[in-house]
Structures are given as C-alpha cells and as structure tokens.
A and B are shown apart, each in its own frame.
Chain A
Amino acid sequence: MDQILQVLSGNARMDLDKMAVMLDMPAEEIQKKIQEYEQAGVIRGYKPLLDYDKIDTELVEAIIEVRVSPQRDFGFEEIARIISEYNEVSSVYLMSGGYDLHLRVVGKTFKDIALFVAQRLAVLDGVLSTATHFVLSRYKDWGIILGENGIDERRNISI
C-alpha cells in the first residue's frame, strides 16, 4: 500500500506538514495525491473511531447472517444493493461458507433491530432466512484494543 495511505490509515487527521516531513515528500504533492485518491474513490471518507461504550447514547449493533437465492443474470448483486439502501445497515458483505450476506445493522434498541429484520429484511424477495447476533461487548475494533488506555511502564533505567 502507498505510504500516504498507510499513514492516513493510522491517523486520518495527520497534519499535512507533519506528513510531508515524515514521508520526505513535498506537502503539495501529498495533498494532490490525497485528492486523486478521493476522486478515484480509493479514499471514501474520514470518520472518528468511536468507542461507543464510552458515549452516553443508546446504540445496539447486530451482525445478521442472511441466506438468499441468487437471481438469474444478477447473482447476488441485486439483493445486496437493495439491502444496502437501508440506512440501518452499515455494512454488507458477500461471504463464502454457510450463508451468503453478512450485515452489520445499527439501531437504538434491540426492538428496533428485531423490527427491522422482521418487517424490512425477511420480507424481501429472495431472502430465504436470517440469523441475528447482537453485539454484547467490543474488545477490539479497527485494529485498536478498546478499554483503558495503556500506560508507559518503561522507566528511565536503560541507557
């Protein structure tokens, strides 16, 4: 992966001048490259990585396994696109293995998600079955171990 993308993957808010020094590249060139990535859709956006357990907000997340019947000429594309249209759905993946589509769905309450599955998802043409798994706790997300911030245990001993 390009170094610029690597640095941004670690910290998308990295200051442009700092990045220029760290990568030994002119800031203008980095900016231009980033714009190109944005225009080409390589970079699709920037979001904070939130630890929802620390935010005082009601939020429930579920992983839903969906089995579907692929359609002639369209395969899984059509049904995946339809499901992707729902705002409640934050990601949709086509899977190998025992089921077809893997969804992440976010709602305010368990009931929200139950209703979404019953009223919007299960009823779609082509959906054969669903299995809903609620997220109970998050230990690691986006490569970051959640919970308490680590402290630096190193002492000024070694020289």
Chain B
Amino acid sequence: MMDMEKLIARRTAGLKPSGIRRFFDIANEMENVISLGVGEPDFKTPYAVRRAAMDNLQRGKTAYSANAGLMPLRKSIAAYMSRSFSLDYDPKSEIIVTVGGSEGIDLCIRAFVDPGDEVLVPEPSFVAYAPIVTLACGVPVPIPTLQEDDFRLTAAQLEAAITPKTKVLVLPFPNNPTGAVMRREHLEEIAEVLRRHDIVVLSDEIYAELTYNGRHVSIAEIDGMKERTIIVNGFSKSFAMTGWRLGFLTGPAPAIKQMLKIHQYALMCAPTTSQYAAIEALDHCEENIAQMRAEYNLRRRFVVDAFNRLGLSTFEPEGAFYIFPCIKSTGLSSEEFCEKLLYSQRVAVVPGNAFGDSGEGFVRVSYSYSVNHLTEAVRRIGCFLEELKQS
C-alpha cells in the first residue's frame, strides 16, 4: 500500500502542530472547566450587522464579489482608514478584502518572500507567522521582546537582527499574547531604522480598535513609512465577527496587485454575505465598538490587579484582550503550570511558550469573559497557588 505520509512535502511535515492543541484537547474533555483560553470576543456580532447579512441573503445576493472585494466595502474601508488613522488608500488599487486577517498575513508573506529570505518576527506573538514563512520557503527570525521593555520591539533589537537577507518585518501590535502596544514615539524609533533599509513592514493591526490608553497609531502614519507598509486588519476582534472570516489588507498599489493574484487563485473572493455585513459594521457601528472597548477596559484593570495580588507579576497591557502574567515565581515551566492548574483547579490558560520560546515563564490569560467568570477563575488560581506553596 502506498504510504501517503512519505509523500507529504518536507516543509509541511516539519511544521510543529500548535502547542496548544494537545492541552486543549484535554481541557475540552473535562467537566466543569473554566476557560481563560479563547482568543475571541464574548460579545455577539452587533445585531444590525447580523441583520444586514440576513437582508442581503434574503435579496439573493449570493454571487462571487470582485476578487478584491465589493467596491462599496472597499470604499467603506478607505473611509475608515482615513478617519481613524488619517491614511488615504485608493479603493480601486490599494485595498483587498481577505478571508480573515490570517489570509492577509499569508498573502503578504507569500508575495514578498523568496526562498532563503529572512522574515523578522517579534515574539511572543501570534502563532501563525513563522509557519507561513516556512511554507513560503523563507526563514523566520524571532526577535524576543522583553518584559523590561514592556514587550515592545526596540530599535536596537531591530537593527541587530537585520541582515542583507531580511525582506519583511512583522509588526504584531497591539500584541497577542502580551497586550503590548507601540506608541507613536516607539514607532518613530523603529521607523528611523527601517527608512535606512529596503524592508517591507507587515503591520498586523487586527487589535487596533482594542487599545486602551489613547488611540492606536499605525506605523504607516509615520513619515516615509506608508510606502513600506502593508497593513493587515479585520473584523474579527473589533466587531466581534470571528466566525464571519473577514479581514482586509491595505498597502501600495504595486504590492496589492501582486497579492491580489494569489488571493484570486487561492480564494477567488471573501464570503459575499460577510462582506455586506461588514459594510454595515464599518458605516454604522462605531458606538458598539466603543461600548465593547469600555467593557474590556474595566475587565482589563480588574484582572491585572487580581493577578498581581495573587503574586504573579503582570505587566499592564494596553491593547487586545489578554494579560501575560509571569509565573517564574512558582518554579514551574509554562506547560507544567498550565497542566497542573488544569488538573488541580480546572482552569485553562495558555502556556506562554506556545507564542515563541521567549514566552517561556509566562501564561496567556484572556479576559474576554464576564466579570463573574473572571472572579471565579481568579479564586481558583488563588487556591492553586496556595496548594503549590504547601506542597
């Protein structure tokens, strides 16, 4: 019999499955588990947005859209980028509507990376960057961000990591899992380095709307950076639309033209119903976003304080909906901590090393849950830490 496994491409077979899987397979089988593990909003998509989808289905709007997305949606995206970040993009040639932010990341990396090209990936960060680079035959180069730098990428770190082979810098802020943000002054320092090199910035701004102390600043707003930057954004986190699978890319026309070819061959277009819904989201739901952000902010302060009180030193995140407490004081590794916590108190959190080696010694806690849920989880973790002390 033919051995199918032997035929799998080596770079695919060599990909590590996400470190979280094994762990959550256990958690999903257990009873009475309190999870702080999910990476999606606990809010439902605003009803007006769901309604817009239903209305368009009702009217039979079920065909493919243009490859780059419905023109009215691209216009709404252009208007949003302009009013939120003072960035002007041409809906005709500088925007692609993608299947989630993830596809945007894939398009950008595949469009720019030749075999052997290096892609700089600040870590800890979203788990998809490095595998996508590997599949494109590129070389992911992790840059560990540090708690003492508030998990920001520094100009010195960037400078040191750049080689003649460097092609792309992934800029994942606001950051999953740390919650770190890069403010204007930090971006200025990075831009100073980047302007001296021919490197594309893939700025993953999927959490842009979930920024708590002042508005999100995009690196494309910094002098000389728009021409070097591809922005990935989307509807999943800001509009609580994860299951709709809708994101977008903005960038210079020559790059968009190339990425559109990949998108066209791989996916044809993003789901049309989701696109109609997204127009409603962008044009009429600013108030809903503000409400969700305000609610996340209350929970954020609550969990940061609660974890610090428990004795787990927790950096104050300024974006996304995660905290990243340091668990080194327990003497356990990230995975041991998570596994013991799950078996002992039935609380599921994500080991920090799932987001890169530099995440070792930390765990990711999502606060995309009600205050009552969070309060109970904190209580259980408190019991767990007491147990550890006594053993």
What is the minimal beta-carbon distance from B179 to any residue of chain A, in angstroms? 15
In the complex, chain B residues whose CB is within 8 Å of the CB of A157: 24, 38
Q: How far is the CA of A6 from the CA of B38 in the complex (A)?
A: 27
What is the minimal beta-carbon distance from B28 to any residue of chain A, in angstroms? 6
**B301 touching A156, Cβ below 8 Å:** no
Per-residue interface assignment for chain A, residues 1 to 26, with 1 indicating a CB less than 8 Å from any chain B CB and 0 otherwise: 00000110001000000100111100
In the complex, chain B residues whose CB is within 8 Å of the CB of A24: 301
Residue of A nearest to B19 (CB): A159
**B20 touching A159, Cβ below 8 Å:** yes
In the complex, chain A residues whose CB is within 8 Å of the CB of B375: 18
**B27 touching A154, Cβ below 8 Å:** no
Q: How far is the CA of A154 from the CA of B38 in the complex (A)?
A: 7
What is the minimal beta-carbon distance from B40 to any residue of chain A, in angstroms? 5
In the complex, chain B residues whose CB is within 8 Å of the CB of A23: 298, 301
Q: Which of A95-152 contact B (CB under 8 A)?
A: 152
**A158 touching B242, Cβ below 8 Å:** yes
**A159 touching B127, Cβ below 8 Å:** yes
Q: How many of chain B's residues touch chain A, expressed as a range?
A: 20 to 34
In the complex, chain A residues whose CB is within 8 Å of the CB of B306: 21
What is the minimal beta-carbon distance from B267 to any residue of chain A, in angstroms? 20
> Residue B302 at the A interface, CB < 8 A?
yes
Q: Which of A11-59 contact B (CB under 8 A)?
A: 11, 18, 21-24
Partner of A158, one of B27, B39, B42, B298: B39
In the complex, chain A residues whose CB is within 8 Å of the CB of B298: 7, 22-23
In the complex, chain B residues whose CB is within 8 Å of the CB of A154: 38, 40, 42
> Residue B251 at the A interface, CB < 8 A?
no
> Residue A81 at the B interface, CB < 8 A?
no
In the complex, chain B residues whose CB is within 8 Å of the CB of A18: 302, 371, 375
> Residue B299 at the A interface, CB < 8 A?
yes
Total chain A interface residues with beta-carbon distance under 8 A: 15
Per-residue interface assignment for chain B, residues 350 to 391, with 1 indicating a CB less than 8 Å from any chain A CB and 0 otherwise: 100010000000000000000100010000000000000000
**B127 touching A155, Cβ below 8 Å:** no
Q: A159-B20, A159-B127, A159-B354 are in contact. Are A152 and B42 (CB under 8 A)?
A: yes
> Residue B18 at the A interface, CB < 8 A?
yes
What is the minimal beta-carbon distance from B302 to any residue of chain A, in angstroms? 5
What is the minimal beta-carbon distance from A26 to any residue of chain B, in angstroms? 13
Residue of A nearest to B370 (CB): A152
> Residue B35 at the A interface, CB < 8 A?
yes
Partner of B27, one of A22, A152, A156: A156
22 interchain pairs, CB-CB under 8 A: A7-B298, A18-B371, A18-B375, A21-B306, A22-B298, A22-B302, A152-B42, A154-B40, A154-B42, A155-B38, A156-B27, A156-B28, A156-B35, A156-B348, A157-B38, A158-B40, A158-B242, A159-B18, A159-B39, A159-B126, A159-B350, A159-B354
Closest 9 CB pairs of A and B: A156-B24, A158-B39, A22-B298, A21-B305, A156-B37, A154-B38, A22-B301, A22-B302, A158-B40
> Residues of B with Cβ closer than 8 Å to A?
18, 20, 24, 27-28, 35, 37-40, 42, 126-127, 242, 294, 298-299, 301-302, 305-306, 348, 350, 354, 371, 375
